[in-house]
Amino acid sequence: MAREGLMYTDSDEWVQKKDNNILRVGITDHAQSELGDIVYVDLPEIGEEYDKGDDVNEIESVKAVAEVKAPVSGKIVAINDQLEDDPALLNEEPFDNGWIFEIEMTDPDQLENLMDLEEYESKLEE
Amino acid sequence: MTELIFELTSPGRKAYTLPDCDVDVDYDDKIKDFIDEEPVNLPEVSEQDLMRHYVELSTLNFHVDKGMYPLGSCTMKYNPKINEDIARLDGFSDIHPYSADEDIQGLLEMLFDFEKDLKILTGMDKFTFQPAAGAHGELTGIKIFRKYFDNKGEDRDKIIVPDSAHGTNPATASMGGFEVITIKSNDKGCVDLDALRDAMDETVAGLYLTNPNTLGIFEEDILEIAKIVHDEGGLLYYDGANLNATMGISRPGDMGFDIVHLNLHKTFSAPHGGGGPGSGPIGVKDFLTQYLPVPVVKKDDNGNKYKLDYSLENTIGKIHGFFGNVGVVVKAYAYTKLLGLKGLKKVSEMACLNANYLKDNLKKDYYLKFNRLCKHEFVLSGKNQKAENSVKTLDIAKRMLDFGVHPPTVYFPQIVDEALMIEPTETESKQSLDNFIRIMKKIASEAKNNPETVKKAPHTTPVKRLNEAKAMRNPDLKYENE
Amino acid sequence: MAYYPHTSEEIEEMLSSLGYESIEELFEDIPKEARFNDESLLNEGTSELEVSKLMKELSEKNKTVDDYICFMGGGAYDRYIPSTVDHVISRPEFYTAYTPYQPEVSQGTLQHIYEYQTMICRLTGMDVANASMYDGASALAEAVIMAMNVSRKNKIVVPKSLNPYWLRVVKTYLLGSDAEFVMVEEKNGEIDYCDLEDKIDDDVAAVLTQYPNSFGIVENLKEIKDKFTSKKTMFVVMADPIALGLLKKPGDLGADIVVGEGQQLGIPLSFGGPYLGYFAFRKKYVRKSPGRIIGKTEDKEGKRGFVMTYQTREQHIRREKATSNICTNQGLMTVAASVYMSTLGKQGLREVAEQSYKKAHYLFNELTRIDGIKKAYPDKPFFDEFVIEVNTDLNKLKYKMKKEGYLPGIILKHQYPEKDNQLLIAVTEKRTKEEMDSFVSKIKTILKG
């Protein structure tokens, strides 16, 4: 269901630490399977800033809308525009080609609030 | 596969005739530049082809005259045939909306008399028939909220809705420029009074509520709810989608509601027409009469002529280009005359009997989150079927299609997982209800013993499950082959 | 008369299976103070025969467009409705179905709406049409809301030549929003271009235009669009669907949203409703659009089928963030419109439009030859509705003409207080030369009298 080496949020985003305080963000396999066939991703704009917990963008399936939240505070530095043409990537490869955006964090301490794999899996079991 | 009407087209074919044009006039120079040389590319078919096409399309539909249609909160009752005949009388269908009052005395008399009945039935003081649907009534209501508080100089910017509310309630509040505060239901499925008290203050314009609520449960604390809202100066709006449960038994006006809408296409038997037209008149208490959209129907001072009155002091304006879906009102009026208000009380009694009968007979087979007396509808859950055999509520719904009944409303209200919201209405016979019970039990047993049959359903419908994701990923919203 | 089928034995049987003795017990959860107890207020029902009679009597107290010869329009028109229309919409398969929530058993309704959407797109020259709004006025209001959401601006520019009654609906819809309405003057019956230029700036969310306008005059859409200063400003055109059978499509002239009153497409006058608000727009705005939309797809065996799509815009999913609160629409009226458009077809709609144009111009020419009647807006192109200025008390004239059996038109002063002595006259394909000639001679006699 989830993957080793990533960090997780309460709202089912995964977070991968890259260089220079940059984090890559996507939604978990669990999140995509709850949503069902994803048909549209409304991507954020590069350069926009968000506080931790803000709604960054929307993901739509046939009959549901989900918000992707900022796992930390920071500025969007990259988006996965492949999702515009092929939103199904979120269903098919949520941890790989289905990543959504990269954010440059302003406060690395916020990482401490994220869950590791074990914590996330036990949350899912609840 | 049924061909599209465009695929039946053959250039030059005709299904119409018109008299020869008997005036000799040509296009003048002023209009010439505006004329499109090419006529609109509409179908070109014969009358027989056209009729066959629409008859074939019609056979692909499920409908009330074919079988039970227990959609929760939709009140899919039988539509008496006499209504249709009456609405087609020339004296109703051929009236121009700008006719003078003296030419529409029969129509105004009908609206006036219907209003009288509705006032008794709801305990409200004045009605408008202008809203064309329930959500349109809600919109009218929210504009009255807005203008009322503006006039009082009160700056209220929030509306409370329960988490079990119809989606139209929060959507309407937004269209009124209000922020929506959603409050949770308590463990009995009702409005949580503490949550309401916490949310209610002088910045809140009011509460949108349906009673019985979407779980089919009567809000027992309704009087206290009204008091909490009124004590803080707020207004109470009644979503009439569920009025079929309490006619002649309990009136929204007596419960403390300030504005109510009725769904004439639900409670009052006007048909749904594959999505509409409906009619959503709203009634208000005296102190809001002056806010209604104009015109309203009035008897003149001598009391023998009816007229349209445009003189309401604080009117919100107009909410419909003309006077609403009057042709639908005619049907509802005829229905009300047939049953009388006494008969409408019996309607509610029978609707509640039928719902409780179904609930009682199905609660062993499907999880019932709120196991208590219900009104005209109740909500089961397919969560056990999902947990035990991965059969989802959607699968159960699709399987029902194979047995010739329409599924209930599914996945609503959102506070019940895998919800199946069932409203049988009063017009279903005991045989029909027993048949429905048999089908639901059979599907529950199939879910255990033969889950694949359910998961792959439907098996007998004109088309199988449709790829809705494809429809959105590759949108095709009109026929392109010109 | 009642439609609840249980016999008293069945009721007893059902109650006792539930452990109850009486129906009243089903309502014991309703607090006493909220009960209704005054049975004496509840009247009795009656038989179908009696109701039939009552309704017939009521209906006969009304005077219809069959009792008069109708020259009244103003947004609702006396047109011929081919017999096919009522035969199709009388089928219970269409009129007793609900919103097509279960597509497997609603393909009739769904495919029909897809065809309807196609016809509306072809009529207006737009990319996408929805499955209907309540009426033309509410469609216009929803178009304004959509334009504000797309452009993220709040100024709405409205020419005075747009039907004031419909504008009133728009304003009611926008109560409580930050919309700011800016009126553009009328000049000789059409939009005043200089004033338009003055009023347009980069903050405009939408410019509205009625086509033809509320005086029947065909506005020059292209010229209006040329005055726009911002690409974000949306051009909202409210078009007469029969006129579109003859005139250039708003979509070809720069419109972004085209809406209109669809009553003329096979729907009886019925004192103003049920009618049909049609609603069409450019594809790129689909996610901001209101109402139901049907799309083509296939079932799991690859067979063509139709479903409701873009549902995430709608209230049942997105709740307070929905693009509109509309749920029930005018479904059956779209069936009427489709059957009407299919019956007339490509040539028929053109012919209805052409005859309406010609007859209207014939009457216009004859009337404006009478002493005491002049052209209110000379030299402006009109379609099938026009304004004359009559040198008399119009209320009296109207009263006398009604006595002679005519609905002579609409007195514009009701909508435009500054317009004295102006009468708006509509002519449809139904009118004959004979009717028009006698109309003219009656007016002549009255004016002389």
Q: What are C166-207's pLDDT values in tens digits?
A: 999 999 999 999 999 999 999 999 999 999 999 999 999 999
Cα atoms found within 13 Å of the Cα of residue B443, Cβ hemisphere only: 31
Strand arrangement of the beta sheet that strand A55-61 belongs to: A38-42, A55-61, A65-69
Regarding whether C413 and C322 lie in a shared domain, the answer is: no
Q: Tally the domains of chain A.
A: 1
Residue C99 falls within a domain, yes or no?
yes
Instruction: Please report the ipTM that was assigned to this predicted complex.
Output: 0.97
Interface contact B469-A40, CB threshold 8 A = no
Distance from CA of A91 to the nearest CA of C (A): 18
What is the tens place of the pLDDT at every residue in A107-124? 999 999 899 999 999 988
Bridge partners (DSSP) of residue C407 are C70
Interface residue A88 vs chain B (CB under 8 A): yes
Q: Tell whether B474 lies on the interface with A, counting CB pairs under 8 A.
A: no
Q: Is residue A3 part of a domain?
A: no
**What burial class does residue B417 get, using C-beta atoms within 10 Å of its C-beta: 0-12 exposed, 13-18 middle, 19+ buried?**
middle
pLDDT at C340 over 90: yes
Considering only CA atoms, which of B173, B166, B137 is closest in space to residue B74?
Answer: B166
B466 in contact with A at a CB cutoff of 8 Å? no
Range of the domain at A34: 11-125
Contact criterion met (CB below 8 Å) for B255 and B211 = yes
The answer to whether residue A21 is domain-embedded is yes
How far apart are the CA of C10 and the nearest CA of chain B, in angstroms? 7
Q: Give the pLDDT confidence score for residue B482 in this predicted structure.
A: 56
Superfamily of domain B341-455: Aspartate Aminotransferase, domain 1 (3.90.1150.10)
Q: What is the mean pLDDT of residues C69-87?
A: 98
- Per residue in C8-23, pLDDT (tens digit) is 999 999 999 999 999 9
pLDDT confidence tier of residue C409, bands split at 50, 70 and 90: very high
Q: Which residues of B touch A37 (CB under 8 A)?
A: 468-469
State phi, psi for C62 to the nearest 5 degrees: -100, 150
Q: Are C409 and C314 contained in the same domain?
A: no
Q: Are residues C241 and C135 in the same domain?
A: yes
Q: Is C345 left (phi over 0), alpha (psi -120 to 50) or beta?
A: left
Domain membership of residue C358 (yes or no) is yes
Of C43, C61, C318, the CB nearest to B105: C61
- Please choose, from the candidates C192, C138, C147, C199, the residue with its C-alpha nearest in 3D space to the C-alpha of residue C170: C138
Count of CB contacts below 8 A, A vs B? 17
- Which pLDDT value is given to residue B304? 86
Q: What is the mean pLDDT of residues A33-51?
A: 94
User: What pLDDT, in 10s, does the model give residues A84-112?
Assistant: 999 999 999 999 999 999 999 999 999 99
Residue A22 forms contact with B (CB below 8 Å): no
pLDDT digits (tens, 9 = 90+) for A49-80: 999 999 999 999 988 999 999 999 999 999 99
- pLDDT for position A4: 86
Q: Which of C363, C429, C348, C359 is nearest to C79 (CA)?
A: C429
Query: Which residues of B are less than 8 Å from C213 in CB distance?
Result: none
* Cα distance between residue C328 and residue B99, in whole Å: 28
- Looking at residue C42, what is its pLDDT? 97
Question: Are residue C403 and residue C273 in the same domain, yes or no?
Answer: no
Structure tokens at B128: 């408008």
Q: Which of C272, C305, C340 is the last residue of a domain?
A: C340
Is A64 close to C311, i.e. CB distance below 8 A? Answer: no
Claim to verify: residue C380 and residue C326 sit in the same structural domain: no
Peptide bond into B295 cis (omega under 30): yes
Give the separation between CA B447 and CA B428, rounded to whole angstroms: 26
- The number of distinct structural domains making up chain C is 2
Q: Do C127 and C237 reside in the same domain of the chain?
A: yes
The answer to whether the CB atoms of C97 and B61 lie below 8 A apart is yes
C393 in a domain, yes or no? Answer: yes
What are the tokens at C23?
A: 């129906």
B473: nearest CA partner in chain A: A39
A125: pLDDT strictly greater than 90: no
Identify the pLDDT of residue C406: 98
- Residue A64 placed within a domain: yes
The CATH number linked to A36 is 2.40.50.100
Has residue A1 got a pLDDT over 90? no
The CATH number linked to C412 is 3.90.1150.10
Whether residue C229 lies within 8 A of chain A, CB to CB, comes out as no
CATH number at residue C183: 3.40.640.10
C74 plus C170 within the same structural domain: no
Residue C64 lies in a domain: no
Last residue of a domain, one of C340, C369, C393: C340
| Closest CA of chain B from A38, distance in Å | 7
Domain spans in chain B, listed from the N-terminal domain onward: 5-59, 82-338, 341-455
pTM for this model (two decimals) = 0.97
Same domain, C241 and C385: no
Phi, psi of C94 (to 5 degrees): -90, -50
Inter-residue long-range contacts of A84-88, CB under 8 Å, 24+ positions, other chains counted: A84/A41, A84/A43, A87/A38, A87/A39, A87/A40, A87/A41, A87/A59, A87/B473, A88/A37, A88/A38, A88/B469, A88/B473
Which tokens in the block code for residue B19?
């008299």
Share of chain B above pLDDT 90, in %: 98
Q: What is the domain class of B82-338 according to CATH?
A: alpha beta
Q: Does C74 sit within 8 Å of B66, measured CB to CB? A: no
Indicate whether C220 and C290 sit together in one domain: yes
Are C283 and C409 contained in the same domain? no
Query: Do residues A125 and A19 make contact, with C-beta atoms less than 8 angstroms apart?
Result: no
In a domain, C266, yes or no: yes
Evaluate if residue A126 carries a pLDDT over 90: no
Which ranges of chain B have pLDDT less than 70?
Answer: 482
Closest partner residue to C172 (CB to CB) among B95, B223, B316 is B316
Q: What confidence score (pLDDT) does residue A2 get?
A: 79
* CB < 8 Å & 24+ apart, contacts of B305-310: B305/B101, B305/B102, B305/B105, B306/B101, B306/B105, B306/B108, B306/B109, B306/B111, B306/B112, B307/B101, B307/B108, B308/B101, B308/B108
Based on the fold, state whether residues C241 and C180 are members of the same structural domain: yes
In a domain, C389, yes or no: yes
- What is the rounded CA–CA span in Å between residue C169 and residue C176? 14
**Nearest-CA distance B391 → chain A (Å):** 15
Verify that C196 and C300 share a domain, yes or no.
Answer: yes
**pLDDT for C198-243, tens place per residue?**
999 999 999 999 999 999 999 999 999 999 999 999 999 999 999 9
Range of the domain at C251: 83-340
Q: Backbone phi, then psi, for C4, in 5-degree steps?
A: -100, 120
Distance from CA of B228 to the nearest CA of A (A): 33
* pLDDT interval class at C1 (50, 70, 90): low
Q: Is B13 on the interface with C (CB under 8 A)?
A: yes
Q: Is residue C180 part of a domain?
A: yes
Domain end (from C291, C324, C340): C340
Query: Residue range C257-261: average pLDDT?
Result: 98
3-state class (DSSP) for residue C251: helix
Tell me if A110 is assigned to some domain.
Answer: yes
For residue B481, what pLDDT is reported?
77
Q: Is B364 exposed, middle or buried (0-12, 13-18, 19+ CB in 10 A)?
A: exposed
